[in-house]
Chain A
Amino acid sequence: MNGANALIKSLENQKVEVIFGILGGAVLPIYDVLCGNKNIRHILSRHEQCAAHAAEGYARASGRPGVCMATSGPGATNLVTGIANAYMDSSPLIALTGQVPSKGVNTSYMIGRDAFQEADIIGITTPITKQNYQVRNAADIPKIVNTAFYIATTGRPGPVLIDLPKNVQTENAEMDFTNRIDARGYNLVTDPDLAQISRAVELLTKAEQPIILAGGGVITANASDELMQISDLLMAPVATTFMGKGAFPEGHPLSVGSIGMHGNPAANRLISETDVLLAVGTRFSDRATANLDTFCPNAKKIHIDIDAAEIGKNVDVDVPIVGDAKKSLRILYETLSRALPKRKETAWVKRVKEVKEKLSPLIKDLPKDLVPKTLLFELRKLLPQDAIVTTEVGQNQMWSALYFQALKPRTFISSGGLGTMGFGFPAALGAKVAFPSRTVVDIAGDGSFIMTEQELACSVMENIPVTVIVLNNSVLGMVAQWQRTLYNKRYMAVHLGKTPDFVKLAEAYGAQGFRVGSISEFQKAIKEALKSKVTTVIDVPIGSEEDVVPFVPPGCGLPQQRGDY
């Protein structure tokens, strides 16, 4: 069997059902095997960056690894942003790239000779992959693929790249498809240290104002139920990071929203008052903690993470627990519930309620006109609970974090770590491929949508109907906001004008487009979109000078949040 066949068979063994990709000379043998294959669907993206984002959207919605593929050289380098995005957000992604031959008859056309469409994708992606492989012998393919999936999906997930020189794809070899894994240096600690668990229990039983901070790791580990149990037992409010949005239902009385630079003011206030912080599956990113000097200043800190290197990296903690979030929370809950009767209404819970009533943005009065917060509040009511929402980057993203409540894990997917404009739309397509029967909506800014709008072609041709809501302020809004507030309104290179006409753009691709000017028109458009068999783009013209507030200015701490909202 040749390498290309072995690759596809290995992917089938991993239960891969879809590959997002764009072909080229260096992957032709693989595409030849895909031709006529009944088990794996190939979706033709229109830019490799989007193939990677779509695969990541698929992965984050479903919990299964996403697979993308590109040819050598420019195909591979176009994947880079998508791979970096998956790395920063710890998403399980398998990236397959073609490569010029490693050996052959025509030696001028080989690795290391700057052959046509040669790029050192291994060198380029070393700092943005969990691991990468260049295949030397076809016979190694089954083992490398198995190992790649194992590494990408276990521990702290991440992208793994497999670079396949063309001669390896056509080379014949004896293949061994038994599930072999070769990664002796890969150490996976999933069971928490029980001594640390006891120390955590000790702190939590004494805590008077405990708070739980749930990061993206809670979603990755499918640990939401365990999180709920602990919160319920302790009557501890739950804040999330931006990446943790959805880990805990945001309508719940103990939910206080996300912390951070543009976090929910209630969350930012309460986390600053806590005496014991239980942080789970978070890397304490600077956008979440703001200035570390005023982050949970009076709290003892417990930190659960599967990545030992995250413990003590940004925030010094009192109780480090290295382990899988689900397992660790379950054991913590079991130990806690033996030590502690279920708490009832405490003074702290009253305080939580009071702060939420005073500060939570959704409890405040909403204007009746078509402004982002009202729109997002309405959108929640119009969408089914299990609808998947993605966002682009900028104000649209921060408004979504503040005003759109995520009720279930894996229903809010956004580029948190890298902040990649253009991520939301292809990620929405990937999520829709994972769940064809669920509603998928991308909340977009005009600037971001233009970056990957060509995937409308993919969505129409491949029958992947999603809805894109363009919060169209005709500016690169978030950057304009910084220039407005931090650079004295010296606007430079942020105006986008009124082009393109997003309704016509949608129609040009065979999708449908609406422009809405009021909340009632918006409601109508969403209802149409939910019924539609093709992708819908809803253009929502909004003011160009709208700010996302409140906001913690750079260098300040979470308690120093400013702005009227």
Chain B
Amino acid sequence: MESGKTRVVSAIVENKPGVLHSVSNLFRRRNFNIESITVGPTEERDLARITITVSADEKTLDQVVKQLDKLVDVVGVAELDPDSIVTRELALVKINAPTAKERSDIISCVHVFRGRVVDVSPVSLMVEITGTSDKIDAFLNLMKTFGIIELARTGITALSRGGQAGNVDE
């Protein structure tokens, strides 16, 4: 499969067991490339939102959307328009910081990136940072010089801008 741009597909699905399995299974079976997948509840209790970032060209993306739409438990699905999308990711990073100098250097970076220090130990700091994936990448890049002990990223979640609900439910 040709690789393409990174796109964000948002699906509203039945909030019941097995649905995530059928969605992820579809991606494996159809040879689509998932970069990240996040799942969480929506404003309606019996519906969940699955946000998937895929690397795909136009034709593959069309298939991703149509094949997802075919799943009975997928209530609505669409690509989020790249021009009016808000994407966010959260990362927790444990960084090597054995000296006071290093701790203060790290903390000033954290401020620049609008992150928060959430845990401190004599030899390390844990930082919480949210933003676009690019911003998180940039922060992690800076932290490499100190040494990253552990990292957890949530993957992207996203919504369309504006007052209307996205076109996902149509």
Contact = CB atoms under 8 A, between A and B. Distances in A.
Contacts of A187: 69
A122 interface: yes
B112 to A, nearest CB: 44
A185 B72 contact: yes
B164 to A, nearest CB: 21
B13 A312 contact: no
A479 interface: no
A122 B18 contact: yes
A359 interface: no
A309 B71 contact: no
Interface in A179-211: 183-187
A41 B76 CA distance: 40
B31 interface: no
Contacts of B18: 122, 126, 134
A355 to B, nearest CB: 34
A225 to B, nearest CB: 29
Contact of B74 (A185, A308, A313): A185
A185 B21 contact: no
A308 B14 CA distance: 21
A127 B70 contact: no
A126 B62 contact: no
Chain B facing A: main interface SS: helix
Contact of B70 (A122, A307, A312): A307
A173 to B, nearest CB: 19
Interface in B1-54: 13-14, 18, 21-22, 25-26, 29
Contact of B22 (A126, A184, A308): A126
A185 B66 contact: no
Given A122-B18, A126-B21, A127-B29, A151 B62 contact: no
B22 A185 contact: no
A507 to B, nearest CB: 45
B62 A183 contact: no
A130 B63 contact: no
B132 interface: no
B87 interface: no
B59 interface: yes
Contacts of A183: 72
B26 to A, nearest CB: 8
B75 interface: yes
B66 A309 contact: yes
Contact of B72 (A122, A151, A313): A151
B89 interface: no
Nearest to A123: B21
B138 to A, nearest CB: 38
B69 A127 contact: no
Interface string B63-81: 1001101111111100000
Interface of A: 122-123, 126-127, 130-131, 134, 151, 183-187, 307-309, 312-313
Interface of B: 13-14, 18, 21-22, 25-26, 29, 59, 62-63, 66-67, 69-76
Closest A-B pairs by Cβ, 7 of them: A309-B66, A185-B75, A131-B72, A186-B72, A127-B29, A126-B22, A185-B74
